[in-house]
């Protein structure tokens, strides 16, 4: 689910979650009652978002959209939760990498040309390409297909099989 969130943020879009993902995300947020006292929660309280996540779960909705700024708040809360709980190590590592790249997109430490790339996905892809801290996400580049299959095996074409004419 974290990868889906990253992909949507990469694409400058709201985050689309299904009912199961809404349930998981709500559980992650609700596990730590101290999250409501964090700076992220105080800046952007998620009471209404938690209700939406619960409703989407109960109704089995195929798509629930979370606004870009709210998704950023959720990631900040998950960072706080990860620091204070037994969150899965792989999830914690992925979250930290995501937050690092989000910070790079915001601060542009490699000075990627805004005139050339703008501020959207092309800019984000270039920032990932030149990051000083390569990660599994920067190696994938982007935007990337979350549901991609391995590349097809090389197939010989009829032209390659045909003898050359003199």
pLDDT (0 to 100) of residue 148: 46
What is the pLDDT at residue 53? 95
Q: Are 29 and 50 in contact (CB under 8 A)?
A: yes
More confident residue, 112 or 88: 112
At 26-81, the pLDDT tens digits run: 998 888 888 888 888 999 999 999 999 999 999 999 999 999 899 999 998 888 77
The yes-or-no verdict on residue 155 having pLDDT over 70 is: no
In angstroms, the CA 123 to CA 115 distance is 10
**If 0-12 CB within 10 Å is exposed, 13-18 middle and 19+ buried, where does residue 81 land?**
buried
In the predicted structure, residue 150 carries a pLDDT above the cut 70: no
Mean pLDDT of the chain: 81
Which pTM does this prediction carry?
Answer: 0.73
Cα–Cα distance between 130 and 137 in angstroms, integer? 12
Given this model, what pLDDT does residue 128 score?
Answer: 87
Kindly calculate the radius of gyration of the chain based on its CA atoms and give it in whole angstroms: 20
Residue 27: CB partners within 8 Å, gap ≥ 6? none
Domain boundaries, the chain: 2-141
Task: Please state the φ and ψ torsions of residue 57, each to the nearest 5 degrees.
Answer: -65, -50
pLDDT > 70 in the chain, percent: 78
């Amino acid at each position: 689910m974290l990868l889906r969130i990253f992909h949507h943020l990469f694409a400058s879009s709201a985050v689309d979650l299904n009912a199961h993902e809404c349930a998981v995300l709500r559980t992650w947020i609700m596990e730590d009652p101290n999250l409501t006292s964090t700076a992220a929660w105080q800046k952007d309280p998620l009471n209404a978002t938690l209700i939406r996540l619960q409703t989407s779960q109960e109704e089995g909705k195929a798509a629930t959209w979370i606004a870009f700024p709210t998704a950023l708040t959720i990631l900040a809360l998950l960072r706080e939760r990860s620091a204070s709980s037994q969150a899965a190590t792989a999830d914690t590592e992925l979250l930290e990498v995501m937050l690092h790249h989000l910070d790079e997109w915001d601060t542009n430490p490699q000075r990627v040309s805004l005139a050339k790339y703008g501020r959207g996905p092309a800019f984000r892809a270039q920032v990932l390409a030149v990051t000083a801290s390569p990660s599994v996400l920067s190696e994938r580049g982007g935007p990337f297909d979350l549901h991609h299959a391995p590349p097809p095996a090389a197939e010989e074409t009829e032209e390659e099989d045909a003898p050359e004419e003199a």
